[in-house]
Structure 1
């Protein structure tokens, strides 16, 4: 499963079966603010949101930007993954 940047909807997406997990974002000149993550209720507790955030961070890093955690899940993810600290704005 690969995370993609749906620029038209300002969100990162991850196919999860027949549904889509997503992370909404807003752009600044130097950072991406992830404002909300959503995993389909039936698929929660399987690590899909973590996979989504990891993929989103990889895309943000590739684009040379920083991340601002604007939702609790991303804050918690970054706390659990100090190896991503270089991305935090």
Structure 2
């Protein structure tokens, strides 16, 4: 799925409505992912993880680590620790 890059967020809109979104707060050498939203019609399709991966891709380019404060991202980083160990500031 393709996401639009906004101001400290990536999102997907459909018919003027946000159907998927992840937001983050930049800090000096890292960002804090603080919110993830996926419309119920998209749940169970891996969209939230795709959003996280899009932020990961962007932060790797910027050489920044990620702090997870969003409960979904905290759990994802635990569940798939090997996948995210290079970017996870909490690891």
Question: Do they superpose with TM above 0.5?
Answer: yes
**Cα deviation digits, residues 8-36 of structure 1 (max 9, x gap):** xx2122x37x2431111111011110001
CA RMSD of aligned residues (A): 1.6
- TM-score, structure 2 length as denominator? 0.81
What residue ranges of structure 2 are gaps of 5+ in the alignment?
none
Query: Which is further off, 32-41 or 72-81?
Result: 72-81
- TM-score, structure 1 length as denominator? 0.82
After TM superposition, what 4+ stretches of structure 1 lie above 3 angstroms from structure 2? none
What residue ranges of structure 1 are gaps of 5+ in the alignment?
none
